[in-house]
Structure 1
């Protein structure tokens, strides 16, 4: 796990080599903008070993890099420096004595998907490659990197590529490889978007292939991974890594390249702290010439916990190939996720004036996002004086996820006769923009909305001492200047709070305009109880966070809570010279303010008892 150059976060994993070799090959490599590539050479011998790294470029040129490896040392080559920027690069390593070689790449793909991947080299070219994993759906881009060493076929070679899909369909094509030239295929363009796909490559002449993939998994996990594939299918496969802990998704991709359906016996070896080791067994059918995908979590729904470390053993009656992709969205506030929401709301949707199509599109986006995080989402319609309506989007944990007990006090009973063990905290923000301004509302208030969305994601699978309600309000802005016609969503929400909730409501934290300015403030009108605000100020002080208090007017959605006697606090970064204008745009947002606000609230919510 890393934060490369203090800016690109990600992780890498690779299988090591079983033995040193005098020759190593890499098909993948890139020095385009946003990519940094390194080749690592290790000499385990007692003597100095001369070596040459040949960088194979996309235009057929070859750049040699010669060096001597002292005994028991590791040396690092910057491919960007040696090959130059803007290149696609394969590599061949030749050493006088056996050594080991690995390639590491760090990137910010499309300027917004940071990560890294690593791969040990191949000691020889192969005739066959199988890649079970592959996906071209939203947020995924899949590539194929190919390289034919000149010494294997000076005149070039033809490679057959077969794409296998879940329904047993297939697609084939022939690819001609020129020697000592790096070739690149975009699999999304080749097979179309939105499909699972496995790749089977074969040639009469040995060649090199790797499959890099870059992704924004479900909008919450960015990065990439790379595979050098397997040389042949088999009937036995073992996978040591796998987990269903919060923030992790582990998948099994099974590829059957044969003409006979495969029946696969899957044994999952489950480990949970404090519980005996357990084995879960089941059967998976993989039709001939097809690919299947399974989420490990779906096999363990009857398990007594959601946090399971898993290893797998697969036994098949027909040769198959297996791959295990794992995605880690993390269980802490990620600024890049919040920035994506700000971009989607302010650029993708734009103005979100209450009662308009933009307002409806935003509510749909918020509801879909929170539903995707696994919440029970309610859309509360809010009538407006002009005859239109806006909406509140309310997200709570599903009933089976909330700790409950019989109510000791009948006044605390819910409609089902039970009461929550935990107190409730509302974390809210408005998502609408000001009428007749043309404002895209990046800071006011996609910024606050994005912080609430990302808090909802990172707290979803976390055990908390309080129960969070995430509420995105419509209709906060003033409908008619000089009147009291504003805060429609939050006023309706407060007025319809059942007593069972009011009695255990700690209060409301409102996040409004936190992306532009110089200082974050905790604000109240001074009308309602100060207990929640004081608690937040105390937490910030103890955490070493400078959070001054500033009294406010009735300018945000804390107003109806305070007027109802409910503790509330508004977080705002001041001052923003562009709000309520067309210049309230995404490029003005300071990600550091988003991060500071999100991390402050994440820590505060986790600290509440």
Structure 2
């Protein structure tokens, strides 16, 4: 029989030997019907913080119009600057004023040189010289992407202060460009104050020099990107807005008439209309239409003063145009 003292020592020694011979890097053996599960010592990644989407600009709407911008423009151009023959110093002052207005609204502004021949403007001889288009584009604008063009001529015949013809059109352009700035439209919009629209002779080729120059400068991809042009010309007289087109069924004319119905603005089609800057686009295969053309007593005369222009009509035209530009 073994002595009790030796047995008591042998058992702990055996256990110690087994513990020392085990590989600490190996997991303990699992039962054959349960696969081993590896334990990762890498901490679980924390959930990434949620990224808030950038807020989209508010869609533009007719109620965004501030008609006082239009009436103030009429008072300044016709009441302070006065007659703005396309190649004269008064036109240059008016172009500077409009360019600064566009810049304050947040647009990139550029000018296009327009060479104008000598001729006769509504009975007054005028010399050859240089005019300009003032072009306002949204920041980051790509002219090869689909866009719209909205414009109005800035010049007058030599004897007229040009309140209705065409400070009214320029005024609504500036009011609409102010409303559009920082808001979402159905397509990007280029705003233009055209030089040298008024005639210097009897034919189409003695007319619309600024807008013809604008179209001529478009590269093929830029021309293809123009989805519609609207000219605002004599838009401050009357209670109904004429919507003119060079031919019946013009797509821009149809869409403007539809916008007028949505905005609750009375409007009538004015077919066969070629006597404004939209014609420079249409004659080159681009869609275009005109707003305005109601007859009035002071046309092309010294009587074309700010009192001729009606605030309510400027508002109708501005609301119609903003409805046309609004996303749908």
Q: Deviations over 1:396-450 (max 9, x none)?
A: 0111xx5x7xxxxxxxxx7xxxx53xx2100010010013xx2100000000001
The answer to whether 1:360 aligns with 2:92 is yes
Q: How does 1:199-348 map to 2 (within 5 A)?
A: 275=52, 332-348=64-80
Alpha carbons 1:331, 1:458 under 8 Å: kept = no
1: distance between equivalents of 2:251 and 2:325? 15
Candidates 98, 102, 105, aligned match of 1:373? 105
* Greater radius of gyration (CA): 2
Secondary structure of 1:548's match?
strand
Q: Deviations over 1:360-397 (max 9, x none)?
A: 11111111110111100011110011331100000001
Can you give the 5+ residue segments of structure 2 that lack an aligned partner in the other structure? 1-50, 119-127
Secondary structure of 1:340's match?
helix
1: distance between equivalents of 2:67 and 2:172? 8
Equivalent residue for 2:279?
559
Judged with a 3 Å threshold, the aligned counterparts in structure 2 of structure 1 residues 519 and 543 are, in CA distance, closer, same or farther, namely closer
Q: Deviations over 1:283-323 (max 9, x none)?
A: xxxxxxxxxxxxxxxxxxxxx6698xxxxxxxxxxxxxxxx
State the Cα distance separating 1:331 from its structure 2 match. 7.9
1: distance between equivalents of 2:267 and 2:179? 23
Secondary structure of 2:292's match?
strand
Secondary structure of 2:96's match?
helix
Larger RCO: 1 or 2 (CA < 8 Å, sep 6+): 2
State the Cα distance separating 1:549 from its structure 2 match. 0.3
2: distance between equivalents of 1:544 and 1:343? 27
Candidates 169, 175, 191, aligned match of 1:470? 191
Secondary structure of 2:151's match?
strand
Judged with a 3 Å threshold, the aligned counterparts in structure 2 of structure 1 residues 519 and 546 are, in CA distance, closer, same or farther, namely closer
Alpha carbons 1:558, 1:568 under 8 Å: kept = yes
Equivalent residue for 1:489?
210
TM-score normalised by length of structure 1: 0.41
Equivalent residue for 2:236?
515
Candidates 294, 308, 312, aligned match of 1:588? 308
Candidates 554, 578, 581, aligned match of 2:298? 578
Can you give the 5+ residue segments of structure 1 that lack an aligned partner in the other structure? 1-273, 277-303, 308-329, 405-413
1: distance between equivalents of 2:171 and 2:153? 10
The answer to whether 1:542 aligns with 2:265 is no
TM-score normalised by length of structure 2: 0.75
Identify, as 1 or 2, the structure richer in helix: 2
Secondary structure of 2:188's match?
strand
Identify, as 1 or 2, the structure richer in strand: 1
Secondary structure of 1:554's match?
coil
Judged with a 3 Å threshold, the aligned counterparts in structure 2 of structure 1 residues 331 and 542 are, in CA distance, closer, same or farther, namely closer
Secondary structure of 1:555's match?
coil
> Which portions of structure 1, spanning 4 or more consecutive aligned residues, are displaced by more than 4 angstroms?
304-307
Secondary structure of 1:536's match?
helix
2: distance between equivalents of 1:371 and 1:562? 29
Alpha carbons 1:518, 1:575 under 8 Å: kept = no
Judged with a 3 Å threshold, the aligned counterparts in structure 2 of structure 1 residues 583 and 563 are, in CA distance, closer, same or farther, namely same
The answer to whether 1:439 aligns with 2:171 is no
State the Cα distance separating 1:573 from its structure 2 match. 4.6
